[in-house]
């Protein structure tokens, strides 16, 4: 091929693109708000002394982000042409999110601060909110491919990660700190007063109204480019039936089936330390404000870490990078267990701030955990990119990401639900009577389920590593043909057309 026939590589150029970049950042930030609120609720529930079984029940509200592949093909193919392929979903979904947040704010205090929080209703409301946020994610991801110029599409993932991070910060950390009386008196007020500076109820009201205003502005002033709503040269556009058929063909590949089971089970090894530790630290006496302040301090590292670790995980064998880090992350659970065990000795009611050395250790352990987590996350994303059939890259990647996310959500729910079941309490009667009722009993924890669960998860992790270490290392060097999918070609008249509603 002569040089003139080769496709020219156009370097990214953001000139004239900043408006689109800002809009994507804004939309991804909005997506992060309900996600952040979902992170905030468990901390509030922990202060209300709910059981870990209730915490596990609430964790199911995050499942829509791991199941969105089930309805993604519908979002991608059904739309009202006059409104636009992506705006047909984006506008109603964001309006509904605004309504849900306003409804939540109106009832928040009754749901959360009664003698016993209304867990079932909270789960239903946040499950629906996360379902809408996951649907918004599908629409925005698709819109980003046509909103940005072809040479700038790579910035879509940056907008995604940065926008979501800001949204989670605004929906999680800041509302809790602003709602805290102690944080307000220690850092924001010159004269101590009762209550927080801004209540959680007011914060949720604000974001509900903000959703509706921003959505209205996007609907009125942002036009969708109808002519560029094509998926791309390398990935043909499919109907709903074809997309589901493609997903089934991918799942039937032998290597994919092995990979799916590995992805669904590898996070068991870290379940206790990743999902229960923060709640156990609060239970042990760590002030919620200080916990969140340390989290904010680590945010710059969270932004930089993916850029740093990419250098070490972007080689030809990304799965080897993950497997090499696996033992270090597995045994890092020892540090978190020791941190939880010694927290009551450092944090006392008489010394609100605790020991400065304790917070240094706490920050270092969290940073070490974040480093290993991001290292493994970037490695597995690199592996997904390498094995995905380029003919169906978007669908292939979405399937693998969905399976990976599902491995996260089910282990989070299971690890929280097992704590109460594994905890053993020893009860004695205060009186000398042989038979006494519950009011006459004194109970103490003889075996904390957190420590027992950590041991069980570590053992399972070791078994997982023995089973999959060689399998996954070999899997990453097999021929590309082992990951390819062959689709039967259909004549144009037999192909199901994309469902559109033409109101013109």
Q: What is the pLDDT of residue 433?
A: 56
- H-helix segments, 266-298: 271-275, 277-283, 288-297
Predicted TM-score (pTM) of this structure: 0.83
Let me know: does 347 contact 284? Beta carbons within 8 Å: yes
Among 253, 380, 223, 409, residue whose Cα is nearest residue 317: 380
* Domains of the chain, residue spans: 17-230, 237-489
Q: Which of 253-267, 291-305, 457-471 has the lowest mean pLDDT?
A: 291-305
Q: Which fold has domain 17-230?
A: Growth Hormone; Chain: A; (1.20.1250)
CA–CA dist 330, 33 (Å, integer): 31
Span 237-489: which CATH code?
A: 1.20.1250
Q: Which has more pLDDT, 190 or 443?
A: 190
Phi, psi for 193 (deg, rounded to 5): -150, 165
Q: Which of 18-32, 248-262, 340-354 has the lowest mean pLDDT?
A: 340-354
Q: What is the pLDDT of residue 160?
A: 77
Q: What is the pLDDT of residue 394?
A: 63
DSSP collapsed to 3 states, 85-115: CCHHHHHHHHHHHHHHHHHHHHHHHHHHCCC
Q: Which residue has the tokens 């039937």?
A: 252
CA–CA dist 184, 195 (Å, integer): 8
- Would you place residue 230 in the very low, low, confident or very high pLDDT band (cuts 50, 70, 90)? very low
Q: Which has more pLDDT, 298 or 278?
A: 278
Q: With 80 as the cut, is the pLDDT of residue 350 above it?
A: no
CA–CA dist 492, 330 (Å, integer): 52
Let me know: does 179 contact 199? Beta carbons within 8 Å: yes
Q: Running DSSP on this structure, what letter comes out for residue 222?
A: -
In this chain, the answer to whether the domains covering 17-230 and 237-489 adopt an identical fold is yes
Q: What is the pLDDT of residue 503?
A: 41
Output the CA angle 381-387-392, nearest 5 degrees. 100
CA–CA dist 478, 483 (Å, integer): 9
CA–CA dist 437, 448 (Å, integer): 24
């Amino acid at each position: 091929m002569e040089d003139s026939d080769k496709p020219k590589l156009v370097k990214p150029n953001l000139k004239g693109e900043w408006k689109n970049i800002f809009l994507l950042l804004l939309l991804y930030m909005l997506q992060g708000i309900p996600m952040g609120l979902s992170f905030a609720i468990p901390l509030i529930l922990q202060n209300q002394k709910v059981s870990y079984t209730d915490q596990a029940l609430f964790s199911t509200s995050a499942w829509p982000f791991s199941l969105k592949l089930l309805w993604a093909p519908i979002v991608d193919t059904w739309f009202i042409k006059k409104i636009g392929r992506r705006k047909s979903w984006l506008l109603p979904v964001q309006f509904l999110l605004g309504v849900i947040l306003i409804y939540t704010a109106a009832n928040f205090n009754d749901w959360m601060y009664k003698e016993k929080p209304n867990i079932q209703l909270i789960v239903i409301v946040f499950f629906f909110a996360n379902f809408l946020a996951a649907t918004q994610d599908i629409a925005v991801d698709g819109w980003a491919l046509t909103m940005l110029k072809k040479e700038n599409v790579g910035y879509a993932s940056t907008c995604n990660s940065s926008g979501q991070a800001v949204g989670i910060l605004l929906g999680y950390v800041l509302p809790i700190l602003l709602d805290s009386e102690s944080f307000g008196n220690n850092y924001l007020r010159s004269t101590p007063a009762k209550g927080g500076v801004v209540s959680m109820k007011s914060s949720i009201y604000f974001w509900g109204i903000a959703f509706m205003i921003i959505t209205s502005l996007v609907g009125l002033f942002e036009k969708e480019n109808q002519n560029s709503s094509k998926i791309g040269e390398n990935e043909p556009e499919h109907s709903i039936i074809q997309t589901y058929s493609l997903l089934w063909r991918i799942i039937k590949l032998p290597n994919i089936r092995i990979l799916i089971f590995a992805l669904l089970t590898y996070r068991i090894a870290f379940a206790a330390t990743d999902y229960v530790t923060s709640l156990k630290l609060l239970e042990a006496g760590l002030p919620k404000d200080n916990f969140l302040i340390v989290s904010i301090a680590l945010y710059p590292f969270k932004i930089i870490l993916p850029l740093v670790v990419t250098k070490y995980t972007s080689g030809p064998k990304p799965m080897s990078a993950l497997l090499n880090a696996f033992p270090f992350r597995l045994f890092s659970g020892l540090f978190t267990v020791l941190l939880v065990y010694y927290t009551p000795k450092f944090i006392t009611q008489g010394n609100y701030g605790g020991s400065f050395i304790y917070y240094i250790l706490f920050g270092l352990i969290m940073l070490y955990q974040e480093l290993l987590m991001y290292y493994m996350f970037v490695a597995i994303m690199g592996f997904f990119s390498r094995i995905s059939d380029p003919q169906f890259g978007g669908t292939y990647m979405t399937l693998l990401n969905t399976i990976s996310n599902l491995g996260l959500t089910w282990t989070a729910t299971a690890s929280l639900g097992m704590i109460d079941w594994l905890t053993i309490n020893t009860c004695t009667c205060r009186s000398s009577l042989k038979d006494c009722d519950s009011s006459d009993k004194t109970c103490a924890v003889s075996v904390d389920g957190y420590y027992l669960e950590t041991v069980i998860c570590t053992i399972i992790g070791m078994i997982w590593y023995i089973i999959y270490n060689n399998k996954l290392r070999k899997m990453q060097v097999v021929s590309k043909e082992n990951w390819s999918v062959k689709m039967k070609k259909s004549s144009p008249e037999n192909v199901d057309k994309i469902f559109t509603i033409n109101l013109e």
